[in-house]
Amino acid sequence: MRLLFLGDLVGRAGRDAALKTIPHLRETLKTDFIAVNAENASHGFGLAPDMADALFAAGADVITLGNHAWDRKEIIPYIAQEKRLLRPLNFPPGTPGAGAAVCALRDGRKVLIAQVMGRLFMEPLDDPFRAVEELLSRHRLGQTIDAALIDIHAEATSEKMAFAHAFDGRVSAVVGTHTHIPTADHQILPGGTGYVTDLGMCGDYDSVIGMAKAPAIARFVRKMPGDKISPAEGTATVCGALIETNAAGLAVRMEPVRLGGRLRPELPSVG
Ligand SMILES: [Fe+2]
Ligand SMILES: [Fe+2]
């Protein structure tokens, strides 16, 4: 199975690039499943229901959120109805929406996808390791599910890497989101789990993690309220990873995908 995961869509630039590129990537990479993180799609903060609809229409199978999940309040009733939109699994019990979903492909194969949020340099939350242990006690890779993808939405590289090793061999891939900067450590861990510390954002890289430079710099230079931070609007680079799995659901390929904008392009060749 071939699965594509795109990192945080930031603002209009990221959204438009993703909407345009998803159908193209689905065709050229012959993907069976596409997930995107869209916690910053709405002007950098949150996701509006019409944007989620547009991403699903373009070919996204699942959308994940993160710490910006509720920045657009209209998403709260929407997520209660839409099983393909996920917020972190380790949000407190009773939080609207779900943190995991099992999606059936047209041929009947099943993909488990979940998002957890890290706790290092982030808001305090329930233990993401325990949340995924509990989830995997109900789903067995290669038995009840054909592939499993976990999005770890976290700041610290150490926490992301520890998390991936903790579940190595039990999920198809662990991909990091949230930092908005792609890392170059795409690998298949010894147990067969594909891993990358951060997918990188889909956004304008002539920016400060997707936001316009001047107000973002001012935040570091002056300890005074300044101009509102808003997304940079130049051409976006679409960033993500392609994961290919075998019959056991483990990764046999884990490669970067980067298209458009300022970063050097990377497009895996698919025979
Ligand atoms: Fe983000
Ligand atoms: Fe985030």
User: What is the distance between the alpha carbons of residues 243 and 30, in angstroms, rounded to a whole number?
Assistant: 12
Question: Does residue 68 have an active-site annotation?
Answer: yes
User: How far is Cα 182 from Cα 123, in angstroms, rounded to an integer?
Assistant: 22
Residues surrounding ion ligand 1 at CB below 5 Å: 8, 39-40
Q: Which ligand is nearest to the CA of 118?
A: 2
Q: Nearest ligand to the C-alpha of residue 67?
A: 2
Could you say which ligand is closest to the alpha carbon of residue 69?
2
CA of 107 to the centre of ligand 2 (A): 33
pLDDT given at position 271: 82
CB distance 34 to 25 below 8 Å: yes
Interval between CA 248 and ligand 1 midpoint (Å) = 31
Which strands sit side by side in the sheet containing 238-245, from one edge to the other?
A: 85-86, 62-64, 33-37, 2-6, 238-245, 251-259
Give 114 Cα–ligand 1 centroid separation in angstroms: 16
Q: What is the pLDDT of residues 136-181, one digit of tens each?
A: 999 999 999 999 999 999 999 999 999 999 999 999 999 999 999 9
The Cα 111–Cα 105 span in angstroms is 8
C-alpha of residue 175 to centroid of ligand 2, in Å: 13
Entry pTM: 0.98
Contact predicate 193/174, CB 8 Å: yes
Q: Return the residue matching tokens 């891993």.
A: 195
Give pLDDT tens digits for 199-251: 999 999 999 999 999 999 999 998 888 788 999 999 999 999 999 999 999 99
Of the chain, the percentage scoring pLDDT greater than 70 comes to 100
Q: State in Å: Cα 192 to ligand 2 middle.
A: 27
In angstroms, what is the span from residue 65 Cα to ligand 2's centroid?
Answer: 8
Residue 38: partners with Cβ closer than 8 Å, 6 or more residues away: 8, 9, 15, 47, 51, 52, 55, 63, 64, 65
How close is the Cα of 39 to the center of ligand 2, in Å?
7
pLDDT in the model for residue 62: 98
Residue tagged active-site, from 43, 68, 180, 186: 68
Give mean pLDDT, residues 18-45: 98
- Closest ligand to C-alpha of residue 231 is 1
Helices 128-136, 157-166: inter-axial angle, 10-degree rounding: 20
